[in-house]
Structure 1
């Protein structure tokens, strides 16, 4: 059963070494992420599942505890592992969104429960996302999710996807649903529109919606902004 969830953005810029001189611009987001992880820790989960979008070249599916990732592609010699495990890291590498999640957990000194991962196909249907979420919630008596993903990348003229006037309303609805722990609202986010607006978080959020069905969780929206023309949200459900 799902007992708590933290929703965090997934840009590598959250890692200060990657952001370099721009690091202070996301200090508020990092603080909010730390607060959201505090909610996860307080829920005393038996397992934490880091759910995030599979990137280009990544294979969607489960990611074993201890899988390693890095930010070398950004010129930074920073490595992470998904949770703590003995022995060598399993084969494979963490998708970038899950690597950011692993970095957040490491930064928080996470030792509360075992950590595993799931890379979600960004084209997965809402129905399949919900089914996946229900499967995750059934993994243990007390399950927590760290859900990684961004809103629209079309929030400004300098955004990766340029400015699209539909982006802000889409993100506002997503933020409202995250604030209210509104599973139906998340499940109803338009898949086609999300794809056009380059919303990397749509599928992971809808996995969360499926996992939280009937759990009776309440939500807090801890951060909502678009500092680089991309919607970033931090929320905590418990």
Structure 2
């Protein structure tokens, strides 16, 4: 036995009449489609449900599985505490998934009460689980559950986790249904919860078309800027679910798509019909990833190469002396510099200096790269095995100049420094999610521990950004 069903379900709480009341009827197509999907899971003979949610506790260094013997949840957060479920965990499948994932190089974190206390996370089922379970139970599906979080990994690693689910099902001889919980763009209309972006609709159209044609490679290679601008939360769970169908012939059908509240909701059923060796994609996806990384490394600027080499040598235990790097003439001066690390589009560390603290820009970058990777208090230190997944950028700061007010700021061109007494905060220019000078100043104040209504001195600066 193996994976006998794959599904995609949205998770709008408003779709529950107990939450949305009459508004729930505006997503009637989705509600009916989710009931249909539940009936199909029943007909598949599935014995266990693996449910992947983007709103379960997410870790930067692993995919989490809630291993509580019984998991509970309710919709009290949305005013409907009477909607509550208790699900029985399937320990055999959960443990086997962990083993198979580790074999594929995907760390799995077993979430239990001890880890919950240590990290302050909540083991209750989140709404990304509760909404799909509501409709599955209405359709008569009450299966043992393996609740999984999405991972913040590269797409082929997310796909690998799905492959691990399939291998675990085969090892145990279990019939498993895998459902990805996720909404599409949250930016379809001007009144959408995450604001409006015209590319939101483009993203949703592409996802629907790619699922209909079961184009896994197309999904994995979606333009990163398009995905970021869409403001979605479903792509990673979908890719994880698709990995569970690796090497299988699949009938893929989109049962519904709509977006009445500015958020895209898609329901899709992916039903295996047999084996198909041409759809064994993991090895080719891994090879494509290696080639893409090699191409990116070849294009890295000198300062980015310095940052990468400095951090790599430090993590390997033989840190290269920052004074030993060649110093091109353009970087011989002193200047403040910030090093930013991103992992699969998500910030992984960013630390810098607002004024020169070293002999030249090259040394500034070498020191700050190590700080960004190991001392940013917002993140755990970067591990050596993460380095290949990191993209690095370096911002070299020009001297700041005082300004009289926010009307002299341009978030794309200028960074900002706010000062009040001994407190100061800095925000770089051209950052995702910072669209107005007022936002820019507010975030800089927050970083400095300055109250939103406290007056500050403002300075602006330009940067030269290196990739």
Common fold, TM-score beyond 0.5? Answer: yes
Matching residue within 120, 145, 166 for 1:137: 166
Cα contact 2:53–2:129 (8 A) shared by 1: yes
Residue number in structure 2 paired with 1:199? 232
The alpha carbon displacement at 1:66 in A equals 3.1
Q: In the alignment, which residue of structure 2 is the partner of 1:169?
A: 202
Task: After TM superposition, give the deviation of residue 13 of structure 1 in Å.
Answer: 1.4
Q: Distance in 1 between matches of 2:145 and 2:224?
A: 29
Name the structure 2 match of 1:68. Answer: 72
Residue 32 of structure 2: aligned partner? 31
Pairwise CA distance, 1:37 = 1.6
Structure 1 residues 193 and 26, CA, compared in 2 at 3 Å: closer, same or farther? Answer: same
* Distance change in 2, residues 1:185/1:171 (3 Å): same
In structure 1, what is the Cα distance between the partners aligned to 2:203 and 2:183? 12
Conserved? CA contact 1:6–1:39, under 8 Å: no
Aligned position for 2:243: 210
Aligned residue in 2 for 1:2: 3
Residues 38-57 of structure 1: pairs in structure 2 closer than 5 A: 38-54=39-55
Aligned partner of 1:178 in structure 2 is 211
Q: Give the C-alpha shift of residue 81 in structure 1.
A: 2.7
1:12 is aligned to 13
Cα 1:79–1:67 shift into 2, 3 Å: farther
Aligned to 2:95: none
1:117 match: secondary structure: strand
Q: 1:157 to 1:177 in 2, by over 3 A?
A: same
- How far is 1:95 from its partner? 2.1
Q: Calculate the aligned-residue CA RMSD, in Å.
A: 2.1
For residue 42 of structure 2, give the secondary structure of its aligned residue in structure 1: helix
Structure 1 residue 192: deviation in Å? 4.8
Report how far residue 216 of structure 1 moved.
1.0
Instruction: For residue 82 of structure 1, report the CA deviation from its aligned partner.
Output: 5.2
1:213 positional shift: 1.5
Q: Which moved more, 1:60-69 or 1:133-142?
A: 60-69
Distance in 2 separating the partners of 1:188 and 1:80: 38
TM-score scaled to structure 2, two decimals?
0.47
Distance 2:55 2:81 in 1: 22
C-alpha separation in 2, matches of 1:109 and 1:34: 9
Match of 2:254 among 221, 224, 230: 221
Q: Which moved more, 1:204-213 or 1:226-235?
A: 204-213
Change (3 A) 1:100 1:124: farther
- SS of 1:229's partner is coil
SS of equivalent residue, structure 2 residue 124: coil
Query: In the aligned structure 2, how far is the partner of 1:66 from the partner of 1:179?
Result: 35
Counterpart-to-counterpart distance in 2, 1:206 and 1:58:
16
Q: Judging by fraction of residues, say which structure has more strand.
A: 2
CA contact (8 A) 1:51 1:118 kept: yes
Q: Deviation at 1:237?
A: 0.8
Q: TM-score under structure 1 normalisation?
A: 0.88
Give the CA deviation at 1:3.
Answer: 2.0
Contact 2:252 / 2:270 at 8 angstroms: preserved in 1?
yes
Contact 2:72–2:87 (8 Å) recurs in 1: no
The answer as to whether partners of 1:49 and 1:145 remain within 8 angstroms in 2 is yes
3-state DSSP of counterpart to 1:10: coil
Q: Which residue of 2 aligns with 1:120?
A: 150
Distance in 2 of aligned mates of 1:82 and 1:6: 21
| Structure 1 residues not aligned, in runs of 5+ | none
**1:85-138 superposed Cα distances (whole Å, 9 cap, x missing partner):** 7xxxx8521122012122222222214x422211114x3321221111111112
How far the C-alpha of 1:228 sits from its partner, in A, is 0.6
